Amino acid sequence: MSEQYKVYGYRWVVLTVFMFINLTIQMLWITYAPITGPAAEFYGVSDLQIGLFAMTFMIAFIPLSIPVSWVIDTYGFRIAVGIGAALMGIFGLLRGFAGSDYTLVLWSTIGIAISQPFLLNAWTTVPAKWFPVDVRATMVGMVTLANLVGTALGMVLTPILVESMSIAEVQLLFGGLAAFSSVLFILLAREAPPTPPCPPGQETRALMLDGLKHAFTIKPFWFYLIASFIGLGIFNGVTTWVEAIIRPRGFTPNDAGTLGALMIVGGLIGAIVLPSLSDKQQKRQRFLMLAFVGAVPGLLGLTFARSSIVLFGSAVLLGFFLVSAMPIGMQYAAEITRPTPEGTSNGLIQLFGQGAVVFVYIMEAMKSSDGSFTPSLILALALLIVSAGLVTQMKDPQHV
């Protein structure tokens, strides 16, 4: 087979601006999690109403994911992600201007949440348009990395900033950063290079509805959808309730910010190391198994640790393994569902993952009378083991 194809240096510009907007939307998503208690006092509402800010992103994702995937696959990621970027910038600023009015802040958050599927569902499309197949899982890992950095910054900076600024001023600051990243993407992103970055047969695909029907006929794809539902449910649940989870054990909001950030640091390392090893070996299943099994000790530590050292070490371990599953799994799904478009398989995975908002709510509902999240975290441990069992039924795709 002829290997006459070219990759272009501008791919790094496209990837960078795409990573930047993914980074900023994660800051907007997670910003209230490490300050749940202080935020509830600031707005005069309950912890659950503050948790609703994060849950809104997952709730909005459910009806929007498939239509947004259609937009990405039909009109291209530049237009689709540009729409999401514009919405994020506008409503990010409005949330800051809303001040201490909880209702206005919630409506602005809904506007930001509507923008999120346009960004998340293009995770595999951008690498597929600009990068050869042997590095695509690594590039999806880079986008995952950007999301994690955004989550970490929101976790760490918010508790620090609220010591010298009002919560509304912090939101305006983050909204301004989001608007700046949106403008950069709209100005600098390009849909595709002049020629494909790969041999014929490995480029992006374009039949959305046919691809959707085809994807649902692939049994291992169903297994990964369920595994992603569990994995993202646990990740979103822990990050949403991070301060409330450790509060009964005497830890502070700053400890919650540190824990969240360390979990993300572990995830950053995992999102670089495991996908790149997966690309190098062109193996997916073994690394997915490693990710789900390896997350178990970290979640155990997070559930029961009473010392800072054990708690923070467990957070790093949990992040390293749990987060690294996502870029590997997304690329696995794109490969086994071929010729389904990347935006479609990616969107279905994100849809199932965000649908795990039900688990985020269940975590709060299962709290014991003293505020402990231990019952729901034990349930999460059992679900991790179920995920590992599903991975045993997933076989590696045959590469072209």
| Residue 52 structure tokens | 């609703």
pLDDT in tens, 327-338: 888 888 888 887
pTM: 0.76
Residue with the larger pLDDT of the pair 309 and 395: 309
pLDDT in tens, 46-87: 888 998 998 899 889 889 988 998 898 889 899 999 999 999
What angle, 0 to 180 degrees and rounded to 10, lies between the N-to-C axes of helices 253-281 and 219-240?
A: 160
The pLDDT of residue 200 is above 70: no
pLDDT in tens, 17-57: 999 999 999 999 989 988 988 999 999 998 889 989 988 99
**Region 246-252: what's the mean pLDDT?**
88
The pLDDT of residue 315 is above 90: yes
pLDDT band at residue 398, thresholds of 50, 70 and 90? low
Mean pLDDT for the chain overall: 86
pLDDT band at residue 2, thresholds of 50, 70 and 90? very low
**Region 264-283: what's the mean pLDDT?**
86
Q: Which CATH superfamily is domain 11-391 in?
A: MFS general substrate transporter like domains (1.20.1250.20)
**Region 367-377: what's the mean pLDDT?**
89
Poorest-pLDDT segment among 139-153, 232-246, 383-397: 139-153
- Report how far Cα 272 is from the mean position of its chain's Cα atoms: 15
pLDDT in tens, 84-115: 999 999 999 999 999 889 999 999 999 999 99
Q: How many CB atoms lie within 10 A of CB 96?
A: 20
Residue 1 has a pLDDT of: 38
Kindly state the percentage of the chain with pLDDT values over 90.
Answer: 42
Residue 183 has a pLDDT of: 97
Residue 36 has a pLDDT of: 87
The pLDDT of residue 339 is above 60: yes
Domain spans of the chain, in order of start: 11-391
Residue 207 has a pLDDT of: 46
The pLDDT of residue 400 is above 60: no
Poorest-pLDDT segment among 155-169, 194-208, 245-259, 351-365: 194-208
